[in-house]
Structure 1
Amino acid sequence: MKWKIKQESKSRVQEEIGLYLLGFLAARSEIAGLHPFAAAVFAGSYLAGLGSWGLLAALILGIASTGEIGYCIKYAGIFIGMILIISCISGKNRTKNPILVAGIAGSMTLGIGILWLLTPWGSGQAVYLPIMEGVAAAGFSVILEQAFQVLHNHEDIMRSENLLSTLTLLAVVLWGIPLQVLQYFTLLQGVIYYLILYMAYRFGVAYGASVGTVCGVILAIRTHRVEWVAICVILSMAAGFLGEFGKTLETVGFLAMLGFLGFFYYPELLAAEALRGLLTAGILFVCTPKNYMTKRPVSGDRNDRETVQWERQAVIRKHIRDIAAVFNKLSRTFCQPAYMLQENGQAAGYATPVFARQMGEIGASLSQLSTTMEEPAVCNGKNQALLVQQLERQNIRVRQVTQVQGIYGRTEIYLLARTLHGRVVTTKEIAELISHCMDAPYRPVSSSRMILNREYHVVQFEEDVRYRYLTGVKRIAKDGQVVSGDNFSQMELKNGQLLMLLADGMGSGVEASRQSEQLVDLLEEMLEAGFRKESAIELLNELIAVQGQGEQFATMDMCMLDLYSGVGEFLKMGASATFIKRGDWMETIQSTTLPVGVREQTEIDAIRKKFYHGDMVIMVSDGVLDAILFENKEECLKELILETDTTNPQEMAEELLEKIQAMSKNQMRDDASILVLGIWRK
């Protein structure tokens, strides 16, 4: 925590120093003996929440550095007048009005400018100059305010309004840089070379070319050589294309292109003063720390947003198709026999009461889905910047980071990214970086890509679960039967819940197996599609009861464990006892309800339990207890579980069933199944 506070404090200091430097150079920008950008920078920084006395001092020092000491008095008067008027008009709790502040900046510049004409320093100026300076100060205040907002809030620099404002600020700052220092070093040229290299590398070809154009125009005006526009554009495009392959190759290519242009077209590029500036820019660029060279994702690109949105919609469409598939399977499984009964006059109106009670559940599911179709919010801020920086260090180029609330209420992150230099990276490696940057565990979504290559793809991540688990199962059929009538399920659902399900069909053999398999299969699909477990059980109970007329049934033992919270829920219908083992302590969960399919209207035993590190859950079918010859069968099984000294679920299931078989002398009177679940904190 202390390290983070120090880093944030250091970042604020660096931001303030950069702001003061921008103010100093902008105040140096002189047009016809005037400094119209000084008031605009002061007003724009105030609107962006960056105004300070330090910036005011930097602006006055910038004006003084031009050698016109008398003008310091004029612009100090403008700044003080702006502060007084803004303080009187705008209270602390009132919203800053950009038009009002810009008007104050323009009015003060105009008013002080007219008074300045009456002084000895301004007596020789034209009368219209204060008017033009006031208009320029008002107009540039609004433009530069947007630029300061972009820099301060790390907004997307490629949005049209942000691009215009930042390029305007760049032009103003470049205008204030001295053209040459002591005849030995072309300072402006060196700064422009560095800017082209830096911007093209960090923001790509498009923004690099825009910066190159602005730099070329400034150089052309300052040197009266229009060729600079074409030269800077060519250099910026070369730097932007080669920047994809790293700083070193970009620098070498930039130098080669400049040498080519200087040798064949513009020899002044190879003059000694120009080469000193070029050498300095190249060294500074190569030595710039990595954390300042992180490539910024261009989240404003419409095609990128559409790509991510399409991926989100594909997930939602698949979810809806899963629900439809469940209903189709229900129809194939149950409805056709019902129609045959209707033809014989035995079940008229069967479908109406069964399905009518489920319409509310379906409506709730669809309502939940509709909320996920809102526009995803782009994840901005320091976490995103850190994530992009860390991925860049691993040669992964990110164009967009999007964070949304998923279908099941968990945070999901979508990355539009690719690898550099032909690397292939697994999404598991990326998930580790995301976990570090977001201060929360993340994992790749199972339906997303598992590998990222040199092509841009959308990869999806979700919050990782807090608990890990192992399962074990051991089954044996009744003596004389080839097929066991018990069926089970052990699967992790999309919502981060673990399903443990054991069903025991009526009787034994193939028919019992078919009944229990049908129950397990349909419950799996309904829960995976998003049905509430209670609604799914009630629906299947009614369907089986109507179809079998109460003569076909199966016991059901279900455990649903939330792998995020560690809370489990047991739902039982006619099932045997379930055992929870926590060290040397044991707990038994009983069932007092009828099996599935006995009656259309029935109750479900539901019990919630909090699980802890090292807990084990043992679920058994009726055949296990029937094989115990002692009167108190459940107490005997508890003793057997405590005597089994293992934390491996599979070993636990196998050893328990071996002891049960030995106790019954290998004469199993019913199908026997044991499911074991082990739970540990990650």
Structure 2
Amino acid sequence: MANQASAKWTGKMRVSDSIQQAGQQMGEKGKWWITSVATRWGALHLLMGLLLGRAVILQELSPFAVPFFAVMYFLKKNRLLLIMFSVVAGSAMQSTGIAASNFTAMALIVVMLSILERRKKSDLHYAPLLSFLAVLLASNTVDYFAGHLGLYAAFMNVVEAVLSLILAHIFVHAIPILTMRRNANHLRTEEIICLIILLASVMTGTAGWIVQDIAVDNVLARYLVLLFAAVGGGTVGAAVGVVTGLVLSLANVQAVYQISLLAFSGLLAGLLREGNKLIIAAGLLMGSSILTLYVGEHREILQSTLETFIAVMLFLFTPRSVMNEIATFIPGTEENESSQQQYLRKVRDVTVDRIEQFSRLFTKLSDTFVNPHLVEEASEEMQVDAFLAEVTRHTCDRCWKREQCWTRNFEGTYEFMSDMVHVMKREGEVTVNDMPKEFLRKCVRQERVMQGMEREFVRWQNQLYLKQQIADSRRLVAEQLAGVSRVMHNFAGELQKEGIHLHLQEQQILQALDGMGLSVRDVDILNLEEGKVDIEIVQPYCQGRDECSKLIAPLLTDILGEKVTVKEKGCQAFADGSCKMCLGSAQEFELLTGVAGAAKGGQLLSGDCFKIMEFGPGKMALAMSDGMGNGERAYRESSATLELLQQLLESGMEEALSIKSVNTVLSLRSPDEIFATVDLALIDLHNAKAKFIKTGSTPSFIKRGDQVIPISANNLPIGIIDDIDVDIVSQQLKPGDLLIMITDGIYEAARTVENKNLWMKRKISELKTNDPQEVADCLLELVIRHHYGEIHDDMTVMVARVDRYTLPWATIPVPNAPHIDRPRYVS
């Protein structure tokens, strides 16, 4: 019995499985059939053609079908015959005259477009004009053969042609939205209106369809208004209601009140879009009921309420995914902003990937230039063999004892010659005393061999020098390529950081500022990383009250928990009377600078140039350059050096590599001997750490109280040789330190003093002032007085004092301020 029961149960399971498989196969076939109908046969286009062919306004005009066919000729030419058939079928539902007129007009469009295609002038923008001509000619032709052509009929035909022209313009913008995939999910207001007119025109084709006293067009119109009001809000709902009601009222003049009913209902439903579907539907029901009670009779009230109820039921059964998909095309919605953010994020990711690819490419090129396997250097033994082969080719090959020396005693002769080569490499020359005695006894061309070895050695040395130059150039190019690769990699990381969306933090800051009574229009956070805060704020013009520095920066300092200051501001910079300010992290230290200089002989142009620049968040650079010689040429060289150095530093290139790049440019730019010294001090204002790079420049000095600390480095001036070694000297600065940078005109002023370094330290320690400008003026005056008022060389002094940065305004505490969560950046 158990076996029988088990067998029955197994049989039932098999039957159930077979039924499920059959159902799945039927479901898959049904999905395939629906997909094939929707894609291959274009069910949506056929339905639109049927309804637009049936749509009639003013009881006799059919201006919708021909513009639709003209536009679809360009968009879906492979389905043209089916679309023509659907349009004619819809027109035949109204009358044979409308069907004949639309068929004739579509035939004329096909003929005219065929002629234009042969002349290669066919374009979608010709659709409105072709629709106007086709409708005008076809309507007059049909009326003429039907015997109805008169003044009134001709006038109405002109009106229908003009309407076709306008509708063709609208369909050109609206139909591609439904038939073509868009890359950027964003619709302009004009495109939304055109889409609504198209949908309302399609719904006009349902005019006269009544099911149990329920008008299908009224149900669809209210459903459309309710759908867009729930997605776009009151403004979109009211606009859709006006456009839809206007188009439907043209089909039925007695339904003019539909304009106000749909517009008011769409407005109420849109105002309640923050609630759920039931609340939005209640807004539509309330708006339609109020106007229906005002203008309708008892029967119309019941009928309108039932139509609204059916539209509400359709809306409630509409999937949320459909509404979200529509919302992505409506500007101002959260879905649209999210879609735009996704699009921008995709573009940013693609950009970052391309930059990373270029970074890896430059890294690979850099590795290629320094790869030792690509250039195989000959071994020392092979070099000696090549050297001896060239020497013996001019000496031993023509000697009558060649066979005795190189055939019978090859090893001995080779050893003698090799020893002489090693002596020449070591001493630079070879003499008779350096030759082996056995070689002198056997060789009959001693002088010629010695001359040949000396001549070949000179050529060999030149070859080695050229190879070394090529190797150095290859190494320089490799270092610069690697530096560019690192810059691009860092830039890609910054782009990745900027892609983090900080909408929540922006809203928190905006609410905090609004809570303090500030009328802030917009807050845009570019970076919220600690120490690298970058925020842009737009507010109305404050009439010069400097609210950004006095109120907003102190408020953000309290909210973010770190010092925030105004980096840049534009008062009333925009035509609408608003101001835009940029706020960022304030550094812990600041520099006060002073500069004094004089040109040789009191000239206008000095060969000494200086720059004070910012090349990053909280990073300052003090640079001085002394060109070769004096006057205009030296000024051009030193200023060009600093300009190029500034651009390299601002681009993010490392300091040492920037100096090497400038050196390469100067050494390759001119065949003349041109060089310039560079004295560079890089100071991080967040921790007061300083880096000094000196290429041929004089020492700098740090005055810390009574102590004077010299800073020097042994580097050649740039532009002399192709490759220079850049030594970086690091020093921790403290508040109150004076950094003094001078050129050689100041340092070498005391020509009778042997220890100039000690002399400068003593003069600096004797200074009684701590003001940077006064220190610079005192040192310059000291040197000029030392030479009794004469200026023997270009002289420049640049002084910077390190102070702790103090905010100009005290922090303003914000009661119940929100806690700002800083995102974690992932590069």
Under TM normalisation by the shorter chain, which class is it? 0.3 to 0.5
Superposition TM-score, scaled by structure 2 size: 0.40
Superposition TM-score, scaled by structure 1 size: 0.48
State the structure with more CA Rg. Answer: 2
Query: Which structure shows the bigger proportion of residues in helix conformation?
Result: 2
